[in-house]
Structure 1
């Protein structure tokens, strides 16, 4: 009689990876018309895995701080490349007016408000409150796919989708000065070292300026190699969209070697690369591969997030932290968004959508992990619990509302929501 031995862990992992890849390909189609999102499903699966009797699997970010920082970093930079490649709108100060409003007004107001909530409302130290504000203010480029523009040259780029895509692309880099400010203040409190000069000259002026310049130069270089060298040797001839991943990693690596903001550089690289030959079909190949890598990495990360939630990541929460998390999602971002859009020529429904869908997620995980790994803030367990709860609230609330809201907005703008992919749910918040 045939008997079956227990499968090796390696075989179980192979099977699990296969199932995950199948879900990456299939779930977006299955969820297209439903008020449900892929991230919600991934978190639920991750939590369910941990709850299986005898399953010793607790991937807490507190237990693996370095891995958490690096993995979230990778997911974000791939998402930033994808976001930049799919923007059709030419860069200009006037055309990108909505972006500048969200960056220059909405994000600083959000940081200020969240810092105040953390310091006065939650009793955190002011350095920890500032780190919390800097971590939770940026709109996430990873979990916001359903409210972003569609693939290159598909016509799925209305003002709302453009604003949220460009904001998510740029504010991840521009939030870093505030994270570094929190680190500088924490170090200064412990050592008494002066911080103002270094923060202004290095963390603000140098890192932002150099990040933009390096990103632009690398994008131009890859654009020339891809589209403009002799036909038999240009990279577009390969038909291999992995070129976009190469540009992502090189841009980020070179920028970090030069000690400037890699997130900002990667997004600028994508914009510069796209500008090199805006209508070339190869942009579709590059965007497709970045989207696939991003989605797969995002699903793995959210499975781990769900497992961490089930494993007790929220255990350090206090009742006021729950109220604060709700206020950050329901009051701070919408109010700051509407203030930033005062006088902006758009319909009220568009302004409300731009203000509401300030999605928090993977970027917030990265900034918090980075801050905690570079300075001592205290109450790390509570900070992680607050950020995790805000991300969970955002994923669930925005995931349940994005499909009906974006479909309704498409109808108001005279578009059929069933024609394109930008309004379809499944891969975003």
Structure 2
């Protein structure tokens, strides 16, 4: 029975993206519902509630996020630059930080959490997700140098999700420090020097260095067996992900940042080479399988009582975060940027919450004692489930409308080239 269920789930993971197409139903919605159904109606299945499997939950979500970060970095066609990535920097420096502050304030003021738990909730719910947001992100690497430019909305949401999973870590460390020893002036100095400056710097350095070195090996190595681009070995992407993450963690850097930066640096080594598509395709398939597993287990946990500690005001705050806080901070963060109003609205609204939030809350609760841990889990799980439904329903129509308006604007600017021969006649 178990092997049959695994086989059917894997088959569905490959089939559903093709079948759903432009229907306003996402793959995460289907597997979340499947998990709820399985653990409700199939007897004898063990409880998948994350509190009972804290280490497994943390590591499984960690691996899923890592794989998705590598895929996001490889998919981005646009070279890294201050002006070229201006939208991303705004979303990280203004929107994410603003969202953490607002959510922490709401958690302390309305939900009654102490400073540590309130800050943790802000850090957990702030980062957008590179795993569950495929409908609004860049699809795959372009192979041709003259490939069409990425639209700003998909680029912004992909690059933001790639970076802010690691950039939220300093705030999680701050919450853990407050919960364990408090955060006086000495503690604040340590946090600023170590958890912000050193860990971010080490993550960036490892990512850039690993990406540059691997790029030289893969594409230009004088030793032919090391020139993996000639052999189209996709599983090498997994080795790159694990090796980069392990080295960054060994140096006490942020491995999430290192993996995404490494992927961007590797892509920059030979931007238009077809090997990037091979690597991305392997990563995408692995990511999809891990996502299916986690969503089925999360759906099962919801069915087995994970939301029991949830209070009515918790529901209100979560919906406010998804429908008000993120859209408002996203819109304000992009004011004055080069994005148009429609793109700005899409970028601001689609702050998808997902597997990254599961990892952060699991990691934090293993490193410190927070008040009401079961309630924290319930709030985060509800936020992920609500995001899956709200953003899953709206993603396809919103992106379709944005694409049509972009195409119409392009025709208005340049004329319909397909009519040129008739006009000449």
Tell me if both proteins adopt one fold, taking TM over 0.5 as the criterion.
yes
What is the CA–CA distance in structure 1 between the aligned matches of 2:175 and 2:215, rounded to whole Å? 37
TM (norm. structure 2) is 0.93
Runs (4+) of structure 1 moved beyond 2 Å? 53-57, 191-194, 230-233
Residue 393 (structure 1) aligns with: 386
Residue 224 (structure 1) aligns with: 216
User: Is 1:21–2:10 an aligned residue pair?
Assistant: yes
| Residue 239 of structure 1: how far off its partner (Å) | 1.1
Cα pair 1:231 1:237 within 8 Å, conserved: no
Residue correspondence of structure 1 range 99-248 to structure 2 within 5 A: 99-153=88-142, 155=148, 157-189=150-182, 194-230=186-222, 232-233=224-225, 234-248=227-241
Candidates 302, 312, 323, aligned match of 2:316: 323
What is the CA–CA distance in structure 1 between the aligned matches of 2:164 and 2:308, rounded to whole Å? 30
What is the CA–CA distance in structure 2 between the aligned matches of 1:354 and 1:399, rounded to whole Å? 15
Normalized per residue, the structure richer in helix is 2
| Residue 14 of structure 1: how far off its partner (Å) | 2.1
User: Is 1:357–2:331 an aligned residue pair?
Assistant: no
| Residue 169 of structure 1: how far off its partner (Å) | 0.5
| Residue 215 of structure 1: how far off its partner (Å) | 0.8
What is the CA–CA distance in structure 2 between the aligned matches of 1:61 and 1:54, rounded to whole Å? 19
User: Is 1:377–2:370 an aligned residue pair?
Assistant: yes
Cα pair 1:223 1:277 within 8 Å, conserved: yes
SS of 1:50's equivalent in the other structure is: helix
| Residue 347 of structure 1: how far off its partner (Å) | 1.6
Residue 33 (structure 2) aligns with: 44
TM (norm. structure 1) is 0.92
Residue 402 (structure 2) aligns with: 409
Return 365-374 or 229-238, whichever deviates more.
229-238
Residue 55 (structure 1) aligns with: 44
| Residue 378 of structure 1: how far off its partner (Å) | 1.7
What is the CA–CA distance in structure 1 between the aligned matches of 2:153 and 2:45, rounded to whole Å? 44
| Number of equivalenced pairs | 404
| Residue 293 of structure 1: how far off its partner (Å) | 0.3
Residue 422 (structure 2) aligns with: none
Candidates 356, 368, 372, aligned match of 2:361: 368
Residues 225 and 116 of structure 1, relative CA distance in 2, 3 Å threshold:
same
User: Is 1:69–2:58 an aligned residue pair?
Assistant: yes
Q: Which runs of 5+ in 2 are unaligned?
A: 410-425
Aligned-CA RMSD value: 1.5
What is the CA–CA distance in structure 2 between the aligned matches of 1:116 and 1:22, rounded to whole Å? 44
| Residue 211 of structure 1: how far off its partner (Å) | 0.4
SS of 1:130's equivalent in the other structure is: helix
Candidates 93, 96, 112, aligned match of 2:85: 96
Q: Which runs of 5+ in 1 are unaligned?
A: 1-11, 417-429
Cα pair 1:188 1:194 within 8 Å, conserved: no
| Residue 231 of structure 1: how far off its partner (Å) | 6.9
Cα pair 1:72 1:366 within 8 Å, conserved: yes
Once the two structures are superposed, residues 337-360 of structure 1 have per-residue CA deviations (whole angstroms, 9 ceiling, x without a partner) of 011011112221110000000000
Residue 415 (structure 2) aligns with: none
Cα pair 1:135 1:179 within 8 Å, conserved: yes
Candidates 275, 280, 293, aligned match of 1:287: 280
Residues 97 and 40 of structure 1, relative CA distance in 2, 3 Å threshold:
same
Residue 68 (structure 2) aligns with: 79
